[in-house]
Amino acid sequence: MELYGYWRSSASYRVRIGLNFKRLNYQYRPVHLLRDGGQQHQQAYRQLNPNGLVPTLVDGKTVIHQSLAIMEYLDETYQGPLLLPGTAADRAQIRAMSLDLASELQPLINLRVQQYLSATLALDDEAKKAWLVHWFARAFASLELQLRDHGSTYCYGKQFSMADACLVAQVYSAERFAIDLTPYPRLQAIYAGLLELPWVAAAHPNKQVDAEN
């Protein structure tokens, strides 16, 4: 398998965690989101991913974009530990938490939106920071409530799941933007534990071949 991604992209980070968790080997193909005007916009990459976003998984003839669709595919296709364990009701909670981060938060604060805020709306640094703070606070406050009801060692009970892959990547993103995490003690505790897991540690942005710091 080949994974097209970018070291600091939280959606790429999620999928690296998922692949490692399932002990699947893959070739990592860096797509630099800033160099050359954004390599994700180049014609060759757009043929793999019509959104011009990362990540994209290539598994033989199957080409899949969208990080959550990739993780569901891995679970349905390959043996090993499940990213979506439990009953249908359990999986519903795991999917809802994953979507709260990957769908309700990340698309609002990703690179292309930040570029629009700067280039088109001409927001200054303070207004851009306020935008990030606003949406992180909404999403993390909601997640903290769900962790109270469903969380334990992991986001959902005592088994690692897709929701944990999403949490790790989103808290990494929050740290980059210096978001205050003190209102979310459960989130912080689960995150600290997750970073110790070998399949999470190996997926860290700083450990990728395209890392720049």
Name the residues that contact a second copy, by CB under 8 A. Answer: 50-53, 62, 64-66, 68-70, 72-73, 76-77, 88-89, 91-93, 95-96, 99-100, 102-104, 107-108, 113, 116, 120-121, 123, 127, 130-131, 134, 138-139, 141-143, 145-146
Q: Quote the least distance from Cβ 96 to a second copy, whole Å.
A: 4
Asked whether the beta carbons of 7 and 208 are under 8 A apart, the reply is: yes
Give the nearer residue to a second copy in terms of CB position, either 38 or 197.
38
Q: Quote the least distance from Cβ 68 to a second copy, whole Å.
A: 6
Provide DSSP, 145-202: HHHHHH-SSSSSTTS--HHHHHHHHHHHHHHHTT---TT-HHHHHHHHHHHTSHHHHT
Give the nearer residue to a second copy in terms of CB position, either 123 or 197.
123
Asked whether the beta carbons of 3 and 29 are under 8 A apart, the reply is: yes
Using the structure block, give the residue that is written with the tokens 């606003």: 134
Q: Quote the least distance from Cβ 24 to a second copy, whole Å.
A: 14
Of the candidates 68, 134, 129, 59, the residue with the CA atom closest to the CA atom of residue 101: 68
Give the nearer residue to a second copy in terms of CB position, either 50 or 212.
50
Stated as kind and residue range, the H or E segment containing 80 is none
Give the nearer residue to a second copy in terms of CB position, either 100 or 208.
100
Of the candidates 33, 6, 40, the residue with the CA atom closest to the CA atom of residue 172: 6
Q: Quote the least distance from Cβ 212 to a second copy, whole Å.
A: 26
Q: Quote the least distance from Cβ 201 to a second copy, whole Å.
A: 27
Give the nearer residue to a second copy in terms of CB position, either 48 or 197.
48
Which residues touch 136 (CB under 8 Å, ≥6 apart)? 105, 109, 174, 177, 179
